[in-house]
Structure 1
Amino acid sequence: MKQALQDVPLSAVRQAPAAYAGKIFILGGMIVETRVTAKGSLIEALSLPIDSYGYLKYQGSSEGRYLALLPTEKGMLDPAIFAKGREITVAGEFRELRKGKIDEVEYVYPLFEIRELYLWQERRDYYAYPGYPWYGYPYWYYDPWYYDPWWRPYPPPYWPSPRR
């Protein structure tokens, strides 16, 4: 996939589709909808920027939407697994521009035929509990006077009793 294009914006593909016909792109995205059609599985995704390794970068912006098609002869993508909100990285060959709608608005989608597809693990929110009540890692609680002078976590030194 070294010959694949990563830094070409979708707006450039929409403006000059003939220049990019047959080229392979690597795209990041968040799934908006997955449909199984007679031609294959069709993913509508919100484009998200990726870094040079294909990891998604979260910048709060998007270049728009695109369609990714996995032909029937290559398999099927289950809409329950490839569900809305899941994140993907797609390596796909640009085929054409396809007209569609987002709610009531006409929209032109770039259509890519999927060569490779990676479904990212779902993100899970978690709460990192702090350490013992005073401080959390790496600031552990320390008090030089925490122990009583006659009681320590280690045995006291050996003091022989005087003989009588």
Structure 2
Amino acid sequence: MKLKLAVAGAALLALSACATLPPEPLRGEYTKITPADAQSKDYTGATTVWGGVIAKTTPMQGQTCFEVVSTPLDSQLRPRELREESAGRFMACRAGFYDPAVFAMNREVTFVGRVNGYSDQKIGDYTYRYPKMDAQTIYLWGKRDRYATPPYGSPYGYYGSWGWGLGYGWPWW
């Protein structure tokens, strides 16, 4: 019996080691709404977490505002990569100066803050209703590593039933 409990405890410990948690500044309880939800219903005052890729950073007197193309967040609250569709756009503002060279276009960012109304602004000739957030936390994510994969298998070969062989894609194959 004790052995079974020890094995079960070890298995749970091993599984918990695989669990991913958000970075410390992003942890907490939030209202689960998206910027698209906030466009259709008034969530003013709700504390939430939104993220995406930066479309524009605008420093102003006393604060910096970010226009963000929203994407769904993963289990660490990191924005997922932008595909063909966005989950809407939002504006997030925070007191202080945030350098547009660092908070540049297409950088991934996550915000924690309160929904604070709406702002109608133009995207080209289209008037878009942005949900606005008073950001309490801004978390700028590091750039993702991009790896190229060979089109015809591994360049390092493979191990078949007759031993090591050459993978497809080698210049002499």
Query: When the two structures are superposed, what TM-score results if normalisation uses the length of structure 2?
Result: 0.67
Partner of 1:4: 30
Match of 1:21 among 22, 39, 44: 44
Which among 37, 50, 68 is matched to residue 92 of structure 2?
68
Instruction: Determine what percentage of the aligned residue pairs are the same residue.
Output: 28
In the alignment, is residue 84 of structure 1 matched against residue 114 of structure 2? no
Q: Unpaired runs of 5+ in structure 1?
A: 145-164
2:57 is aligned, of 34, 40, 54, to: 34
Question: Residues 58 and 126 of structure 1: is their aligned pair in 2 closer, same or farther, counting only changes over 3 Å?
Answer: closer
Q: Distance in 2 between matches of 1:120 and 1:79?
A: 15
Give yes or no for contact 1:31–1:87 (8 Å, CA) kept in 2.
yes
Unpaired segments of 5 or more residues in structure 2?
Answer: 1-26, 164-173
Q: TM-score, normalised by structure 1?
A: 0.71
User: How far apart are residue 25 of structure 1 and its match?
Assistant: 1.0
Structural RMSD (CA): 2.4
Tell me the number of residue pairs that the alignment of Structure 1 and Structure 2 aligns. Answer: 134
Moved more, 122-131 or 31-40: 122-131
Q: Give the deviation of 1:127 after TM superposition.
A: 3.3
In terms of fraction of residues, the more helix-rich structure is: 2
TM superposition shift of 1:98: 0.6
Following superposition, the deviation at residue 3 of structure 1 comes to 2.5
**Whole-angstrom CA distance in 1 between matches of 2:146 and 2:82:** 19
Question: Could you give the per-residue CA deviations for residues 67-86 of structure 1, whole angstroms, max 9, x where no partner exists?
Answer: 01012xxx311000000010
Is contact 2:91–2:130 with CA below 8 Å preserved after alignment? yes
3-state SS of paired residue (1:53): coil
Matched residue SS, 1:69: strand
Greater gyration radius: 1
Q: 1:12 and 1:142 mapped to 2: Cα distance?
A: 56
